[in-house]
Amino acid sequence: MQFQQLTKLPTNARVGVVGGGISGLFFTYFLGKLRPDVHITLMDPNHGRPGGWINSWQTNDKSGKDIMIERGPRTLRGVSDGTVLMIDALEQHGQADKIKCIEKTAKANKKFLLDPNSHLIQVPDSWNSLGKFYSNPISKGLATSILFEWARAKKIGEEDESVAQLIKRRFGKSNLGDNIMSAIYNGIYADDIATLSAKKVSANLFKDEQNYGSTLKAALAKWWKQIGSKDFNSPKLSPVLQKYKENFGKNGDGILKLSKKLKEYPMLSFSGGLSVVPNTIATALKSMPNVLIMDEKVTKLGLKNNKLQLELSSKNVVTSKDFDHVRFSLTPNYIQNIITKDINPSLNDKLQKIKYNTVLLVNFYLPGKDVITEKYHSFGYLIPNSNPNPEKLLGVIFDSVIEQSAKALFSTSTNSTSAVKQTYTKLTAMVGGHLLNDAAGNTLIPDEKTAISQVKNALRKHLNIATEDLDAGLWVYTVAKDCLPRFSVGYQDLAESIEEEVIKDYNGQVSFGGMAFARGPGVPDVVTDSMLDAIKLK
């Protein structure tokens, strides 16, 4: 989602960026390069380190050995424009040797689902795995649902509905949603397909039905159009990367080459963890003469004589600063406490309508032993609604398989792909999300001991890991409170109305970044939006 009426910055303008997560960092980075005359102050009131929810935590195992635990996101999609922007920035700042790739044939590119009987079944990637998948209870009704999708009536009108409703209408049954799609949305949004907005999180399916009457018809039409396109064998820069080239003086052939290279890989990882990305950008910002980084807490936004005023608090001392533009890269629940109600009470009311999910990350590390059965070596597994799931797991990521599958992306990298691989187990259980919410909307967060005990139970049941191995490893518990907005039915209209009011009330001088207002749910999406909005202010 993009702002269309942001006011261009005057010469020597002052810009305040609130939030030092990946969105705020890259917005500051892009704007600082586009407008060297603009003075940018980056304020991070919630985290003492760059990157927000990205947290590659350096610690020690029980023997004192250095290890890295990902307490947040860990990989990037290779096919995304936002990933191209990030990788190009890392290359520019001498971090090419930290970038790794996962090949399509790697074990880490395999994925599993947990079937209704708590057995792991591989998502098909071959004829053999396809046969096993279709003989599993998880695929009940799948074939007929897909085969007759084209014949089902098109929905009249563009009114929003839940993902579950969309799937049931288009595919005739709830099986596909309960057994497969719910697992995918658990992994991406930590939310329930019964409440998730189809218009927001299944936009392609939603639009395909509107435009073609059927998702299968849409797929065929798009495939035929692609085959007949003159660019089919001569790819060109996407609109986003074209803007990057034009506004940042990039070599188009070089960016296209990088984009094509990244599309060869389903995902990227990094030596030292994903925190390499925000740490690199934070270091770059410190060397930019037009950027100032502060750790003051932002408590209030006001508007006086067409100037934005931010009230800052540090060590019980309150000060204020004037800005020509303020960028909020925080979740709306923080923003609603900063924007004053006297300018527009309805704006605060709308911000308060956005609710959040909390995700618990439970990490496990065991040196010297691989307790993940070889046939299950993969990225990990997700858990659908059809599984009883008393432990409230969303999914499990096999970090050690990802790390051992990763290879250097660039041939000049000093990371040897032939290095001796260590034997160990590292995994992350994602717990909770919508499963922690009760009927009244309260989030019930288990304590560390309870959460770890539940994950141990699940790993014993799903992977047959012995109790003595689970007890011998290191456990790390992280509460990512309110980390994901709940994109409930009607969210798109709500977010658009919030944007319209912000633009109107603050004369196009306030903008929002971050996942709540981004085009997609991933790190690359918020980076893309940061660049596009920075260009609008240029």
Q: Give me the residue spans of the domains in the chain.
A: 14-52+275-354+487-537, 56-110+356-485, 141-228, 239-264
* Token pair recorded at residue 156: 């009249």
For the domain covering 141-228, report its CATH number. 1.10.3110.10
Q: Give CA–CA dist 520/268, Å, rounded.
A: 18
Q: Give CA–CA dist 31/520, Å, rounded.
A: 21
Q: Give CA–CA dist 235/229, Å, rounded.
A: 10
Pairing assessment for the beta strands 297-304 and 307-314 based on DSSP bridges: antiparallel
Are the folds of 14-52+275-354+487-537 and 141-228 the same? no
The answer to whether the CB of 526 falls within 8 A of the CB of 22 is yes
Tens digit of each residue's pLDDT, the chain (538 residues)? 444 588 999 999 999 999 999 999 999 999 999 999 999 999 985 556 888 899 999 999 888 899 999 999 999 998 999 999 999 999 999 999 999 999 999 999 999 999 999 999 999 999 999 999 999 999 998 888 888 888 888 888 889 999 999 999 999 888 999 999 999 999 999 999 999 999 999 998 898 888 898 888 888 988 888 777 666 566 789 999 999 999 999 999 999 999 999 999 999 999 999 999 999 999 999 999 999 998 888 989 988 877 899 998 877 788 889 999 999 998 898 898 888 766 778 888 899 999 999 999 999 999 999 999 999 999 999 999 999 999 999 999 999 999 999 999 997 544 444 455 789 999 999 999 999 999 888 999 999 999 999 999 999 999 999 999 999 999 999 999 999 999 999 999 999 999 889 888 888 999 999 999 988 888 999 999 999 999 999 9
Q: Give CA–CA dist 190/204, Å, rounded.
A: 20
For residue 233, the model assigns a pLDDT of: 63
For residue 347, the model assigns a pLDDT of: 87
What is the number of helices (H) and of strands (E) in the chain?
Answer: 20, 21
CATH architecture under which domain 14-52+275-354+487-537 falls: 3-Layer(bba) Sandwich (3.50)
Question: Residue 320 — left, alpha, or beta (φ > 0 → left; ψ -120 to 50 → alpha)?
Answer: beta
The answer to whether the CB of 218 falls within 8 A of the CB of 211 is yes
* Token pair recorded at residue 204: 């392609």
Return the half-sphere exposure (C-beta side, CA atoms, 13 A cut-off) of residue 67: 26
Vertex 265: Cα angle to 264 and 268 (nearest 5): 145
Cα 389–chain centre separation: 24
Q: Give CA–CA dist 359/38, Å, rounded.
A: 38
The answer to whether the CB of 84 falls within 8 A of the CB of 75 is no
End-to-end CA distance of the chain: 19
- Could you give phi then psi for residue 535, rounded to 5 degrees? -65, -40
Q: Give CA–CA dist 422/425, Å, rounded.
A: 10
CATH architecture under which domain 56-110+356-485 falls: Alpha-Beta Complex (3.90)
For residue 84, the model assigns a pLDDT of: 97
The answer to whether the CB of 42 falls within 8 A of the CB of 28 is yes
Q: Is 529 strand, coil or helix?
A: helix
- Kindly list the distances between the CA atom of residue 431 and the CA atoms of 186, 244, 390, 393, 449, in Å, as whole numbers in the listed order: 10, 38, 11, 4, 14
Q: Give CA–CA dist 54/74, Å, rounded.
A: 8
Q: Give CA–CA dist 142/134, Å, rounded.
A: 8
For residue 430, the model assigns a pLDDT of: 98
SS3 sequence of 54-109: CCEEEEECCCCCEEEEECCCCCEECCCHHHHHHHHHHHHCCCHHHEEEECCCCHHH
Total residues belonging to the chain: 538
Q: Give CA–CA dist 70/511, Å, rounded.
A: 30
Q: Give CA–CA dist 239/258, Å, rounded.
A: 15
For residue 418, the model assigns a pLDDT of: 47
- Picking from 373, 426, 369, the residue whose alpha carbon sits closest to that of residue 400 is 426
- Kindly list the distances between the CA atom of residue 392 and the CA atoms of 299, 450, 482, in Å, as whole numbers in the listed order: 36, 12, 17
For residue 422, the model assigns a pLDDT of: 87
Q: Give CA–CA dist 265/258, Å, rounded.
A: 12
Q: Is 51 strand, coil or helix?
A: strand
